[in-house]
Amino acid sequence: ETGVTQTPRHLVMGMTNKKSLKCEQHLGHNAMYWYKQSAKKPLELMFVYSLEERVENNSVPSRFSPECPNSSHLFLHLHTLQPEDSALYLCASSQFVLGKNTEAFFGQGTRLTVV
């Protein structure tokens, strides 16, 4: 399998549930990202991992907890979410090279509905 793969594609969860989103990249990249895409809002960067270290956390509520066990895998652990957290969650990866910016490659996304 190639590219960036996200599972599951769709998820419905109650506000008291705990679930996890998974992302796997097969591109040999060293940076991974979580973005949130809500209706009528720009894409929001949530977390950045570079070389398996979290390098950015954009004031995301603690009910979202990322984990990056290795350079190929990224998780987003979810607990006690709110209905306003319903959105498309996109994972992306890129190759970070000092002095250069390379494009990000995106997964298909997980459509999350919180009920």
Partner 1 sequence: AQSVTQLGSHVSVSEGALVLLRCNYSSSVPPYLFWYVQYPNQGLQLLLKYTTGATLVKGINGFEAEFKKSETSFHLTKPSAHMSDAAEYFCAVSGWNAGGTSYGKLTFGQGTILTVHP
Pick the stretch among 14-22, 49-57, 63-71, 73-81 that binds partner 1 (CB under 8 A): 49-57
Verify binding: residue 33, partner 1, rule CB under 8 A: yes
Specify whether the CB–CB gap between 91 and 32 falls below 8 A: yes
The secondary structure of residue 115, as a DSSP letter, is -
Rule CB under 8 A: which of 68-97 touch partner 1?
90, 92, 94-96
Verify binding: residue 42, partner 1, rule CB under 8 A: yes
Q: What x/- string results for residues 6 through 25 when contact with partner 1 is judged by CB under 8 A?
A: x-------------------
CB of 16 to partner 1, least distance (A): 27
Q: How far apart are CA 65 and CA 20, in angstroms?
A: 9
- Binder of partner 1 out of 17, 20, 50, 86 (CB under 8 A): 50
Verify binding: residue 56, partner 1, rule CB under 8 A: yes
Place of tokens 């607990």: 79
By CB neighbour count within 10 A (0-12 exposed, 13-18 middle, 19+ buried), where does 4 fall? buried
Helix (H) or strand (E) holding 21: strand 18-25
